[in-house]
A and B are shown apart, each in its own frame.
Chain A
Amino acid sequence: MNIARKRTSVMNRQKRAAFWFLLPSMSILALFVFWPIADLFWLSFHRWSLLDANHAYAGLANYVKLVHDERFWNAVVRTVYFTAGSVPVGIVLSLALALLANEPLKGMSAFKAIYFLPVISSFAIISIIWSFLLDPDIGLLSYWLKAAGFPASAWLRSTTWAMPAVIAVAIWKNVGFNMVILLAGLQSISASLYEAAKIDGAGALQRFWSVTLPALRQTLLFVVIISVIASFQVFDQVYVMTRGGPLNSTETVVYYIYHHGFELLDMGYASAIAWVLFVVVFLITLLQLRLFRFNETD
């Protein structure tokens, strides 16, 4: 009796405590994450300009406009181009670095620190530096590449070369991040697997194909998915290096949302684009959760 009552009082105390512990964060998530998502959906069905106080119901007009908007489809294509260009190359380079970093070499911690520098620096600020490096007049890199026989020197002013330049900078920025995750994956592979392969007479290359890669599959898949999600959201770098130009050749979806929402102040239409982006990113994330059997809640 006494114990039962004591248990109920402990339960009640925990319930009360939980309420106060959760109140601040849940209020903030409700107000600044969940309400805006609901509002976004509402906005996408209205004409909503910051310049016009009349927010008329527009039905599917924003979405119809979207389907026929060539510049939107250009932004989709450019985003896919960016993703297809940066993710595979970036991951192969990261894996190569992770394999090197996994070797017992002297001075490795200094190398790893250097590889991580771009990850901790601001993409916006470091993009200023990259713009200068690729500048045809003062850019040292542009000058060296020209001397090495590359056709372009005004990289960011060329509709052909601006996107490859933006992709190269994104790879440079993220290679250290992916390396750290892949390195953790490599280090969790049991040494006995390698020894067994050695006893079977497998060479270094064969060990990589038959031991390392299969054991790293989950980690690799994870890196691919988070890289794809991050690529779909690229903005800072495009804003600083090209503002989507020249001739929209580097205009990504998030930049296009920004353009409509904050430059043209047409927030209804921008919301429709944002809603499409949300659905795509959400589906990819759900796929990720499925693939990784995400049973964290129990």
Chain B
Amino acid sequence: MRLSVWRAAQYALLLAAAAAIAFPFIWMVLTSLKPEGEIVRFPPALFPSDWTLDAYVQVWKRIPFLLFFKNSVVFACGVTLISLAFDSMAAYAFARLAFPGKHALFVLVLIALMIPVQVTMIPLFIMLNDWGWIDTYAALIVPRATNAFGIFMLRQFFVGLPKELDEAARIDGCSEFRLYWQIVLPLAKPAVASLAVFHLMYNWNDLLWPLIITNSQEMRTLPAGLALFMGQHVVEYGILTAGAAIATAPLVAAFLSAQKYFVQGVAFTGLKE
């Protein structure tokens, strides 16, 4: 009896927390389905009385939303693919190869891990501006084409794979590249998938970097484009909520289908200890 009361209390707490955490998402979706007149009606209500998809039609017409979306895809996917390749190559060298200066180089990677982008954004901007790269995909992607955290994380994983693999393959005359590509990488699939999610999420969601590196509306990503649009047209509630819902949807869908990798990708930062 006492146990079941305790259980009920636990469920009540879990539900209350879930309601509080999900509330902004629920409000976002419900508001995006209201006609504009109903959004500004006082007192505000949670549910629409008239349901409409109008905001989802208008958002593509009124702002260059398709361009924002395309830029976000190119930026996030570009960084993810290139960085996965370079991170895993470096991680392979640190974990499986013997070479002079390995320790010192790895310490440099750890130091790079501690330098936040908020600190380097000004010199980076000046450099990319000198190169004439501002407002290009290259400027968005190339500086992020490798990631110290990614190298570190994959190296930890590669170190754990049995050494006998390499020795057997090397005796058979297997090249280092084939060893990396056909033996080590396939064995590291879960770690690579988690890192892919980490890169994808981080760049899809980022505001500051695309905000300073692009300056034309045609090059804005979803977060930068929507944030700037909000700054200029704060009263376009319907369009902004619909835009926010569309921008959030791909990651939520990916999260629901590959939850394990998302949680690991995020929690890896917690396992560095």
Contact = CB atoms under 8 A, between A and B. Distances in A.
A191 B272 CA distance: 24
A290 interface: no
- Give the interface SS of chain A, mostly helix, strand, loop or mixed: helix
- Give the interface SS of chain B, mostly helix, strand, loop or mixed: helix
A29 B152 CA distance: 13
B266 interface: yes
Chain B interface bracket (under 10, 10 to 19, 20 to 34, 35 or more): 35 or more
Contact of A128 (B39, B124, B226): B226
Interface stretch (B52-60, B114-122, B187-195): B114-122
A218 B227 CA distance: 38
Interface in B201-241: 201, 204-208, 211-212, 222-224, 226-227, 230-231, 237, 240-241
A121 B7 contact: no
A228 to B, nearest CB: 13
15 contacts: A18-B97, A18-B102, A22-B93, A28-B143, A28-B145, A116-B266, A118-B21, A120-B201, A122-B247, A125-B247, A128-B227, A240-B230, A254-B118, A286-B114, A296-B152
B126 interface: yes
A128 B244 contact: yes
A129 B122 contact: no
A121 B17 contact: no
Interface residues of A, number: 100
Contacts of A150: none
Contacts of B230: 128, 131, 240
Interface in B125-154: 125-127, 129, 142-146, 148, 151-152
B119 A236 contact: no
Interface of A: 10-11, 13-15, 17-19, 21-22, 24-26, 28-29, 31-37, 39-40, 43, 48, 50, 97, 100, 103, 105, 108-109, 111, 113-133, 137-141, 143, 172, 175-177, 180-181, 184, 218-219, 222-223, 226, 229, 233, 235-236, 239-240, 243, 254, 257-258, 261-262, 267, 270-271, 274-275, 277-278, 281-282, 285-286, 292, 294, 296-297
Interface of B: 7, 10-11, 13-14, 17-18, 20-25, 27-28, 31, 39-40, 42-46, 86-87, 89-90, 92-93, 97-100, 102-103, 105-110, 112, 114-116, 118-127, 129, 142-146, 148, 151-152, 156, 170, 176-177, 180, 201, 204-208, 211-212, 222-224, 226-227, 230-231, 237, 240-241, 244, 247-248, 251-252, 255-256, 259, 262-263, 266-267, 269-273
